[in-house]
Structures are given as C-alpha cells and as structure tokens.
Amino acid sequence: MRQAGKIAAAARQLAGDMVTAGVTTKQIDKAVHDFIISSGAVPTFFNYNGFPASICASVNEQVIHGIPNDRPLQEGDIVSVDVGATKDGYVGDCAATFVVGKGGREAERLIAVTKQSFFEGIKFAREGFRISDISHAIQSYVEANGFSVVREYVGHGIGTQMHEPPEVPNFGNPGHGVRIVRGMALAVEPMVNQGGAAIKVLNDRWTVVTLDGKLSAHYENTILVTDGEPEILTTTGDV
C-alpha cells in the first residue's frame, strides 16, 4: 500500500503541476493515466463502475466525480483532482484542489480550510478513538471557518479494494461508530462547499455539483493507523 500510495501521490502532484490556463482536464487525465501505467501500477478509477477516465477532475462548483473534458481551464478556476493507483493488488487514493493561476481570496481560503480540516481530523486517527471522532473534528473546523461539509459522500476504508468498510463521514457527533485500531487503512477526504451543503448529481450520473453554484474543494489522503501518529501513505512531501 505504501508503493501504491506513493504512485497515487506522485500522480496527484503531476496533475496539480499541469493545472494551468489553456490546459484541458482531458490532457491532465491522459498524462496521469500514462504516468501510473509507466510506474507499474493500474489507474484504479478507470472503468470503476463504468467511470470513463483515470482521474476525477471537478472544476469550480463541481464537488467530486467530474469527468475530464476538452474545456480549456481559465485563470481563477479551481480544480479538484482525485486519483487512485492499484499496485500489486493494493490501492492508494488521494485528492487535492488546485487553483489556475491566481485565485480569489475566498477560493484560496476554501482550499486551505479543506486541506487543514483533513489534518484536524486525523489527529484522532489513533488507537482508542472512534471513527466519528475524526468526523466531528473535520466538521467542527470547517463550520468554524464559515463553510459547509458535504454529507452524502464520505471517506472509507481502503486496501485491496478502493472502497471498504468502515465509512468515514466528515460530520457527526464524537464517540460513535467503529473503534479505531492499529493496522486500519483509511481514506479520509473532506469535501467542503463555499456556500450551503446541498448538492445534486448531473445528468451524466457522475458529476456532483453544489446546488447553489458556489465553489467546492476536496482533499484526501490514504492513512495507516499505527501505534502512534497516523502514517500518510499518499505523500510525496509536496501536497
């Protein structure tokens, strides 16, 4: 899983480096696909339940599951890139939101709060806590900063499959749910809206957007519960 995680993280970084004006998300998808294959892994998302690409590329008001397309990115767009890599039967899954050029102050703050909420949550990814302790920490941090947490989609366990038990919501009261034990691998992934929490799925049956049309950001890593601090498996040290 460490190998899969490093490949997924490097693919995320590659995608982030490509997020510039004039580039299309389809071009980013192809580059990530080729990189994962060249690294001796398989793009986990490709054809997953019929998904037609190797990354999810969600722009501006798109929350998750955006399908890469031929629209050139524009200055000020924000792009959430979600990517998975399967190596020797094990999966690494991660995401981050990037700005095209210089974003507005509120967009930058949304991205920063979303990322930090992940780190607030994994403070509780330790033996003896419960899954909802992670959830509550994420929700508390997001809402204290004036943003909303998406509730219909959640983080998850991960291993030989991308989605395994337990679910890891980004909201809830502490002290509930599965007890966290050493050896658990979890994909913790706050999805945070600039406006209200309400969402809808577009007619392509994949793309999830904010109901009010405001921006959304996403940040995710695969983590391993240890006998101390959780280990982030999807890291290159940069994102």
76 burial via Cβ count (<10 Å: 0-12, 13-18, 19+): middle
Q: Are 54 and 33 in contact (CB under 8 A)?
A: yes
Q: Give the pLDDT band of residue 237 (cuts 50, 70, 90).
A: low
Which pLDDT value is given to residue 236?
82
Q: Domain 2-232 maps to which CATH number in 3.90.230.10, 3.40.50.300, 1.10.486.10, 3.80.30.20?
A: 3.90.230.10
Q: Are 224 and 159 in contact (CB under 8 A)?
A: no
Query: What is the value of pTM for the model shown?
Result: 0.96
Strands 199-201 and 55-59 turn out to be unpaired
Q: Give the pLDDT band of residue 238 (cuts 50, 70, 90).
A: low
Q: How far apart are CA 110 and CA 116, in angstroms?
A: 10
- pLDDT tens track for 106-156: 999 999 999 999 999 999 999 999 999 999 999 999 999 999 999 999 999
For residue 221 the two structure tokens come to 């890593």
**Alpha carbon of residue 157 to chain centroid:** 14
For 6, 96, 164, 178, the CA distances from 86, given in Å and listed in that order, are 11, 19, 14, 26
The percentage of the chain sitting over the pLDDT mark of 90, rounded to a whole number, equals 97
- pLDDT tens track for 27-64: 999 999 999 999 999 999 999 999 999 999 999 999 99
